[in-house]
C-alpha cells in the first residue's frame, strides 16, 4: 500500500506541475533549476489532496465505521492493525508538501510575493492541523531545515495549535495586501488565485481548529464565532461553490484517490453504522450517492471488523474520477457554527438554523440538486429540528456532521472530542498496539521516527495512549 500510494502521488504531481503556466516567476535567473513558486504551490496542493484521500481519509473513516475492510490493508485497519502504515501520511506530508510549502513561504517572502506567501501559510496550517490530529505532538519549530537539523524535536500539541492559528492570521494579513503581480493565477489549482476565497477559507479553518479544543479551552466556542464573524458580518466560506477543495481530472493519473482505490483494489465496503443512518426513515437523499446497492439490490453495511464483500460499496459521488477531495467546506462551516452556538447557549435558535443550512448544503452538493425541493425540505426539517436538552442537541448536530463529512478525516477528530455518534469497537481489534481492543484515539509515532530520530517521543507505540492534549 505504501509503495502504491507513493507511485500514485508521484504520477499525480507530475501531472499537476506539468499543466501549470509558470510565467516569469523563476526567482533566480542564475539558478534555473530552482523550484518556482507556481510549481511549489501546484505540487503541494495536489499531494495534500491525494494523500488526504488515499491515506488519511481511508484509514480514519475505517476507525469511524463509515467503511469496513474486506481484504488487504483495509481489513487490517478495520481491526486496528495500523503500525505498518501509520507513518505513510507523516512521511508524505513532511517530505513533500510541508517541506515545499516551507520553501515557498521563504522564497515568496524574499521576493515580496504576498499572495503566494499567504496561501502557503494557510496550506501549511492545514497540513499541521492534519498531522497533529493524527499524531499529537509533531515537529514544527525545528522542522524543514534539511541536513542542518535532520532530527527536529516534536513540539507539544498545545504549541502546534498556537502555531496553526498564527499561520492563519499571518496568511490572512498577507493576502489582504496582495495584488495581481505577487499572487498566483491558474497555478493555484484550488481557487485560481482568488484572494477573497482564500481569506474566507482561512477564517473557517481558524474556527475548525478552535473547536478542536472544546474539551480544554473554555473559550473555544466563542473563538469559533469570532473567527466566522466580524461582529455580525459572516466572513467564513459562504457557499458550497467556494469550498476549499481540490478538483481532480479524468485522466488515469489525474483521477481522485477514491476512484483509483475502487478501480485498483476495491477492498472497502460501507460500514453498518453509516448505512443504517442513511436508511433511517425518511431515507437520506444522499443514500444512492454515498452507497451502491449490495448484491441483493438493497443497501447494507458491514459490522466493524467483519467486512463482507456482498455489502454495499462506496457510491458514485466519491468514486467518480473528477470528484474533488475537500479540505474544508461551507457545510462544515455551518456545522461548526451550530455546535459552537449550542456550547454557548443550548437554546440558541441560530444553532438550529445553522444545522439546517449545513444539511441543505451537503444534500444539494452531493445530489447535485437533483432531488425535488419539497423532499429535501421535509428531510431537513426531520433531521435538522433540534429537540431535547443540550446533550441531545449536540448529538443531533454531530450525527448529521458525521454523515455529511463522509470520507473526510475530520469525522475522527469529531468523534474523539465529542463522542457522537456512539460506536462499538471492532471485532478482533485487540493487538499489540491496542491491547484493550478499543477504537483508536491516535496513531503511533511513525516507526521511522522512533528508530532514527532521537528527539521523537519515547512512549510505547499505541493507538490509545498518551491521549492528545485536546482528548483528555
What's the confidence (pLDDT) of residue 85? 87
Cis previous bond, 295, omega within 30 = no
DSSP secondary structure letter of residue 148: G
Residues contacting residue 451 through CB under 8 Å, at least 6 positions apart? none
Say which residue the cell 426531520 belongs to. Answer: 382
Q: Which residues lie across from 229 on neighbouring strands?
A: 234
Asked whether the beta carbons of 405 and 52 are under 8 A apart, the reply is: no
Q: Each residue of 173-195: pLDDT tens digit?
A: 999 999 999 999 999 999 999 99
What's the confidence (pLDDT) of residue 330? 99
Under-70 pLDDT residues of the chain: 1-33
What's the confidence (pLDDT) of residue 83? 87
What's the confidence (pLDDT) of residue 16? 53
- Helix H or strand E segment including 161: helix 157-176
pTM of structure: 0.94
What are 62-66's contacts with CB under 8 Å, separation 24+? 62/268, 63/412, 63/439, 63/440, 64/402, 64/411, 64/412, 64/415, 64/423, 65/271, 65/272, 65/273, 65/274, 65/304, 65/423, 66/270, 66/271, 66/273, 66/274, 66/406, 66/407, 66/411
Sign of CA dihedral 186, 44, 251, 57: negative
Say which residue the cell 480544554 belongs to. Answer: 216
Cell (9 digits) for 75: 481489513
Amino acid at each position: 500500500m505504501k509503495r502504491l500510494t507513493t507511485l500514485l502521488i508521484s504520477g499525480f504531481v507530475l501531472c499537476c506541475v506539468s499543466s501549470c503556466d509558470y510565467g516569469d516567476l523563476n526567482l533566480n535567473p542564475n539558478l534555473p533549476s530552482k523550484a518556482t513558486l507556481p510549481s511549489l504551490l501546484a505540487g503541494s496542493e495536489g499531494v495534500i489532496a491525494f494523500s488526504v484521500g488515499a491515506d488519511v481519509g481511508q484509514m480514519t473513516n475505517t476507525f469511524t465505521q463509515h467503511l469496513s475492510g474486506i481484504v488487504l490493508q483495509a481489513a487490517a485497519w478495520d481491526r486496528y492493525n495500523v503500525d505498518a502504515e501509520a507513518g505513510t501520511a507523516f512521511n508524505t506530508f513532511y517530505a513533500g508538501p510541508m517541506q515545499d510549502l516551507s520553501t515557498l513561504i521563504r522564497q515568496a517572502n524574499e521576493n515580496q510575493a504576498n499572495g503566494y506567501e499567504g496561501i502557503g501559510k494557510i496550506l501549511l496550517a492545514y497540513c499541521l492541523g492534519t498531522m497533529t490530529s493524527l499524531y499529537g505532538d509533531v515537529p514544527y519549530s525545528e522542522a524543514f531545515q534539511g541536513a542542518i537539523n535532520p532530527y527536529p524535536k516534536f513540539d507539544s500539541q498545545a504549541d502546534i495549535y498556537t502555531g496553526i492559528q498564527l499561520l492563519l492570521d499571518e496568511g490572512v494579513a498577507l493576502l489582504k495586501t496582495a495584488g495581481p503581480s505577487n499572487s498566483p493565477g491558474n497555478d493555484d489549482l484550488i481557487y485560481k488565485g482568488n484572494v477573497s476565497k482564500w481569506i474566507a477559507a482561512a477564517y473557517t479553518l481558524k474556527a475548525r481548529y478552535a473547536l478542536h479544543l472544546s474539551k480544554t479551552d473554555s473559550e473555544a466556542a466563542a473563538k469559533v464565532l469570532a473567527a466566522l464573524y466580524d461582529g455580525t458580518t459572516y466572513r467564513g466560506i459562504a457557499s458550497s461553490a467556494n469550498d476549499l477543495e481540490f478538483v481532480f481530472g479524468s485522466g488515469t493519473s489525474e483521477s481522485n484517490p477514491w476512484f483509483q482505490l475502487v478501480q485498483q483494489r476495491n477492498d472497502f465496503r460501507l460500514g453498518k453504522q453509516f448505512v443504517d443512518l442513511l436508511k433511517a426513515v425518511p431515507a437520506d437523499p444522499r443514500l444512492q450517492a454515498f452507497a451502491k446497492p449490495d448484491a441483493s439490490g438493497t443497501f447494507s453495511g458491514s459490522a466493524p471488523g467483519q467486512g463482507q464483500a456482498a455489502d454495499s460499496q462506496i457510491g458514485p459521488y466519491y468514486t467518480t474520477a473528477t470528484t474533488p477531495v475537500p479540505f474544508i467546506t461551507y457545510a462544515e462551516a455551518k456545522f461548526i457554527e451550530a455546535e459552537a452556538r449550542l456550547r454557548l447557549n443550548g437554546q440558541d435558535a441560530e444553532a438550529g438554523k445553522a444545522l439546517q443550512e449545513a444539511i441543505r448544503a451537503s444534500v444539494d452538493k452531493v445530489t447535485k440538486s437533483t432531488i425535488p425541493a419539497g423532499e429535501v425540505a421535509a428531510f431537513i426539517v426531520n433531521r435538522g429540528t433540534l429537540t431535547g436538552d443540550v446533550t441531545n442537541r449536540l448529538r443531533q448536530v454531530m450525527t448529521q456532521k458525521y454523515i455529511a463529512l463522509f470520507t473526510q478525516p475530520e469525522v475522527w477528530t469529531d468523534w474523539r472530542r465529542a463522542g457522537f455518534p456512539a460506536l462499538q469497537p471492532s471485532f478482533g481489534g485487540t493487538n499489540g498496539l491496542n491491547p484493550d481492543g478499543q477504537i483508536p484515539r491516535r496513531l503511533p509515532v511513525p516507526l521511522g521516527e522512533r528508530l532514527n530520530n532521537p528527539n521523537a517521543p519515547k512512549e510505547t507505540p499505541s493507538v490509545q495512549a498518551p491521549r492528545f492534549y485536546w482528548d483528555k
